[in-house]
Amino acid sequence: MNTVSNRFIAQKLELAAQLLSLHGADQFRVKAYTKAADAIVGFSQSLQGLATDELATIPGVGKKLAAHIAEIITTGSFPDLDGMIANTPLGLIELSNIRGIGAEKAIRLH
């Protein structure tokens, strides 16, 4: 992948948080991805070119998320995200994006 913006990275982490929520993951884990996405959007320099250990120094980004970010920079995604996408029924993500419909309601409606 050529150039990866911080916004693109944040969007991938936000999608991961959404999918984690849809799959019933622990809310602390969901919040960790959301917090990291927020930190990346507000980060003043490009993350591209930073080593994984440098990424882990960003507030809200731990070692595991730093590794995911490095993978996003390299390939455009990361295996955990790809697996969650593959295991999510078609239309469920879109349904949960409708205002007023959270993860639990989307699952019930789907």
- Structure confidence at residue 100 (pLDDT): 78
- Give pLDDT tens digits for 30-68: 999 999 999 999 999 999 999 999 999 999 999 999 999
- Contact yes or no for 9/47 (Cβ under 8 A): yes
- In eight-state DSSP terms, residue 20 is H
Backbone angles phi and psi of 8, in degrees to 5: -60, -45
**What's the predicted TM-score (pTM) here?**
0.86
HEC states along 48-62? Answer: CCCCHHHHCCCCCCC
Q: Among positive and negative, which fits the CA dihedral 53, 5, 30, 83?
A: negative
Rounded-to-integer distance, Cα 2 and Cα 96, Å: 31
- Structure confidence at residue 93 (pLDDT): 75
Residue range 82-87: mean pLDDT, rounded: 93
